[in-house]
Structure 1
């Protein structure tokens, strides 16, 4: 570890003792500590949800607006204060009695999606539509995506809330 080397000098001075510290065991201890902490640390993979995006259209000038039958979809409107509303109506039929409210507790949203899927006339084209308002928060959006994953539905879309939906939504919130 440490070594004392005594040297005699002929000049009559006192002997000076040179001290040399061997750092090899300290380096070994450092590597042992690094290895210990590396093996005892939890290496976790970040939880990521794959967001399926549509493929890029080779012809950008072609506008492909597909209209989905309102009976073949369920629309969720994410509002303020963790409120979520849903409907299966078109612009002419939507009113305050059709726009129903639910919450994120339990598996209520997954059940709503499953029931709408069972009642869909064309289940292979069934789509879940998420429409967050300006007052909605990011956590609710992620919770909604999680509920879609729980319901095992792969067709979903995120879009802006339409003016006719905003009108009915505002009536319910006030």
Structure 2
């Protein structure tokens, strides 16, 4: 606190009293503020994945929907126990022989995307489709999106697994 030190001088002169301010409480307050801001500040940047979404179409009945043939797409099915399957088939042609399995090690998924892109007849319509099952985990989903980003393909979609795919998938998992 503030403290007044009085010094008496002899003579007819007026006594001047020097004032001394105790700074100890101010230092304590400074340290309290520093610790408060240190504990309430985020030291790391949040990790955010860029998910490209299409612009809103104002026409409820679009006219020019491009047909994507089987060779212009590759579909990844994310399953349980870190398993991932892929195919380039339609509902009539898909069977256990067409549904191939790979894993998340290395750049295997990126290589599969690159090979499918090379075989695509219309490269501008090439699309990657990701279909996570109910048993898939979030880490595998993020890994597939990372591999799509590595392969630098901008056309991809995320959707539910179709019943005909689920049937073939369940037979392959057994």
Give TM-score, length-normalised by structure 2.
0.77
Judged with a 3 Å threshold, the aligned counterparts in structure 2 of structure 1 residues 67 and 162 are, in CA distance, closer, same or farther, namely farther
Question: Residue 111 of structure 1 aligns to a residue in which SS?
Answer: helix
The alpha-carbon deviation at position 34 of structure 1 amounts to 2.3
Q: How does 1:11-30 map to 2 (within 5 A)?
A: 22=22, 24-28=23-27, 30=29
Q: What residue is the counterpart of 2:171 in the other structure?
A: 171
State the distance in 2 between where 1:62 and 1:153 align. Answer: 24
Question: Residue 144 of structure 2 aligns to a residue in which SS?
Answer: helix
The alpha-carbon deviation at position 138 of structure 1 amounts to 1.4
Q: What residue is the counterpart of 2:139 in the other structure?
A: 139
State the distance in 1 between where 2:42 and 2:68 align. Answer: 46
The alpha-carbon deviation at position 47 of structure 1 amounts to 2.2
Q: What residue is the counterpart of 1:83 in the other structure?
A: 83
State the distance in 2 between where 1:170 and 1:65 align. Answer: 31
Q: What residue is the counterpart of 1:118 in the other structure?
A: 118
Question: 5+ unaligned residues in a row in structure 2: which ranges?
Answer: 7-19
The alpha-carbon deviation at position 67 of structure 1 amounts to 3.0
State the distance in 2 between where 1:30 and 1:105 align. Answer: 53
Question: 5+ unaligned residues in a row in structure 1: which ranges?
Answer: 7-19
The alpha-carbon deviation at position 27 of structure 1 amounts to 2.4
Q: How does 1:22-101 map to 2 (within 5 A)?
A: 22=22, 24-28=23-27, 30-31=29-30, 34=34, 43-62=43-62, 66-101=66-101
The alpha-carbon deviation at position 155 of structure 1 amounts to 0.7
Judged with a 3 Å threshold, the aligned counterparts in structure 2 of structure 1 residues 64 and 134 are, in CA distance, closer, same or farther, namely farther
State the distance in 2 between where 1:64 and 1:113 align. Answer: 26
Give TM-score, length-normalised by structure 1.
0.77
Q: What residue is the counterpart of 2:14 in the other structure?
A: none
State the distance in 1 between where 2:122 and 2:62 align. Answer: 26
Question: Residue 129 of structure 1 aligns to a residue in which SS?
Answer: strand
State the distance in 1 between where 2:106 and 2:159 align. Answer: 25
Judged with a 3 Å threshold, the aligned counterparts in structure 2 of structure 1 residues 152 and 30 are, in CA distance, closer, same or farther, namely farther
State the distance in 1 between where 2:144 and 2:114 align. Answer: 14
